[in-house]
Amino acid sequence: MASSRVLQRKVLDFARKPSQINAISRAMSSSKFPARLDPMLPSGCFANKTALITGGGTGLGKGMAEMLSRLGATVVIASRRLDVLQKTAEELHQTTKNEVFPVQMDVRDPEAIKNAVDTCVEEFGLPDIVINNAAGNFISPTERLSPNAWRTIVDIVLNGTAYVTLDIGKRLIEAGKGCNFLAISTVYAATGSGFVVPSAAAKAGVETLTKSLSAEWARYGMRFNAIAPGPIETEGAFSRLDPTGAFKEEAINNLPSARLGEINELANLAAYLVSDYSSWLTGQVINFDGGETVSRGEFTGLLKVTNEQWDMMEAMIRKSSKSQKSKL
């Protein structure tokens, strides 16, 4: 009995301590999942296609714009800051040699959306691809949020996605033209998350909008899908969500893939989802998270137990089983 208690105490003590072995294991895992950043789809597969990307001047939006432009699309990038858009458009044009067109748009303002889409239609016609990527988020205890803070996030994320989709969707229906819509969500839209509650609520609405319209507007030749990314480092988002850098380190430690995602990896997935190669795929939310979602299982924490500790626990379990049988 005493030896069993000693074994149990050793296991519990081990479980309470930070595990260097777990960190080493994660580092080894990362080398098994290297990022492939070159375009996945064939060159020119988006020739004669126009893509409109909200939040296209920076971060994930910029990455998706570059990927589609590399693959032959004419890309229209939209956001509130025209100076940022113009700089990005010129940079991408120099890189891809295809036209990237900046248009100022505040997704919270239906009139601004109308004007921006009018400009896009006059230049290039109705888009073949719409990526709702504009987002806003910050970390905060929910009790500290003001009504204005709540409204700001929901207006950008949920209302902005709805306004853009409705404006373009109605024009497409009238013109008898199909389109591929893609929304950028987040893994915690499905589960909820503390400290980012306005974003979680708004993104959940975006996912429901995606699924609902995939059923209703398929008759008009429109597909709707979403990507729910895990942690992918972008300068703007991480400055608001991880100002100390602690989240990044913890995320890498907890991800089965043992590394953050890369922008081009998401851009490759996005390109596939808005391409003709995925024409039978609609109404889906794709978790793209390095295993974050599945790593939350109740017993996944046992990854930090070493073989020696497993031997100890197996001995305890066997002893317990024999004791139970002796009582029968």
Return the pLDDT at 301. 76
Average pLDDT along the chain, 328 residues, taken 10 residues at a time: 53 49 53 92 97 97 98 98 97 96 98 98 97 94 96 98 98 98 97 95 98 98 97 72 72 86 97 98 96 81 83 83 64
The residue to which tokens 């959940």 are assigned: 204
Return the pLDDT at 214. 98
Which candidate, 62, 120, 69, 125, places its Cα nearest to that of 99?
69
Which candidate, 193, 209, 212, places its Cα nearest to that of 201?
193
Domain ranges for the chain, please list them: 34-302
- What Å distances lie between residue 81 and 102, 107, 195, 199, CA to CA? 10, 12, 27, 21
CATH (residue range 34-302): 3.40.50.720
How many CB atoms are closer than 10 A to CB 35? 13
Return the pLDDT at 19. 44
CA dihedral for 219, 55, 52, 47, sign (positive or negative): negative
Instruction: Show Cβ contacts of residue 293 under 8 Å, excluding neighbours closer than 6 positions.
Output: 187, 190, 191, 230, 287
How many CB atoms are closer than 10 A to CB 103? 20
Q: What are phi and psi of 288, to 5 degrees?
A: -125, 85
Q: Which residue in the list 188, 220, 272, 277 is annotated as catalytic? A: 188
Q: Is 236 exposed, middle or buried (CB count within 10 Å of its CB: 0-12, 13-18, 19+)?
A: middle
The size of the chain, in residues, is: 328
In whole angstroms, give the CA distance from residue 169 to residue 209.
13
In whole angstroms, give the CA distance from residue 57 to residue 83.
9
CB 205 within 8 A of CB 248: no
- Asked if 272 is an active-site residue, the reply is no
Q: What are phi and psi of 50, to 5 degrees?
A: -115, 130
Return the pLDDT at 325. 62
